[in-house]
Structure 1
Amino acid sequence: MSGTDVAEGAAAPDFSMPASGGRTVSLEGLKGRPFLLYFYPKADTPGCTKQACGIQEALPQLGYLGLTVIGVSPDKLPPIEKFAKKYGLEFPLASDEDHKVAEAYGTWVEKSMYGRKYMGMERSSFLVDAGGKVAKIWRKVKPEAHAAAVLEAVQDLK
């Protein structure tokens, strides 16, 4: 883990990123509203699709609870747009190509596959309250169970 790990109760690190649908997402733009920033490794891969579709299904409930959801990956915008369109994902999917935001949140980590080490995105989520403080952190998220865990945690924000 990097030295920039974010802790629960700490102020959420600043960010501004281009997102699907011609949007820009930023900490400034979300001021006064709770939001979920979830980091995923790659658009349109099985785990990421499961996670995104689960969140999309929970979106009406999350929206009702006043939560904005933003997915973040190191992908460029064209594959992100394609992913969003293919699965009808309405929430913004942001492009963190230079992984500056992932580094600020401590989710750009060393990974290992078949004995080869490389840097990549850790599937992690950060629930930020209306005051801009990190209320809950999930590391190494299980895609299938993520939306339910977020729904439960958002209830506790009230």
Structure 2
Amino acid sequence: MKKILALLLSLMLVLSLAACGGDDTTDTAVDEEPVVTDEAETPAEDEEVPEGRITDEQLADLTAAYNNVAVPYNEIATAVNENGWMNDEQTATEMKALSDTLGFIGKGLTEDISLLDGSDFDALIDYLENEFPPALEELSERVSVPYEAG
């Protein structure tokens, strides 16, 4: 229970670090996150990066960290749906939090990098590299078998 609480608090921290961005029209279904490439618009290397904007190095690190967790997340999302785990309130809540986090980062990386302006990019990268994978591993073990209510 402490791990779940820590995961949820961490997710809330990550979301609070990022600026709110427009309409959130996500539904409760688990959406697969796209794997992104380093195509976002950033200043050229010889230009000075304004404070709060992502540097080319941070963008590359964030993209790599995102891609490393997006694939396992998609596999887990498939297992959650196939094995009926969305009927479990705790699992549904965890998947929504993970989906919202990856969705926000993915949208920033693929559509509008300015959504990520003001974020603590190093903390976000650290979170995706060090905290997200163990949470995914724990979730993967749980949802690898069919859900049984009770």
State the TM-score bracket (shorter-chain normalisation).
0.3 to 0.5
> How high is the TM-score relative to the length of structure 2?
0.35
Larger proportion of helix: 2
The structure with higher relative contact order (CA 8 Å, sep 6+) is 2
Larger proportion of strand: 1
> How high is the TM-score relative to the length of structure 1?
0.33
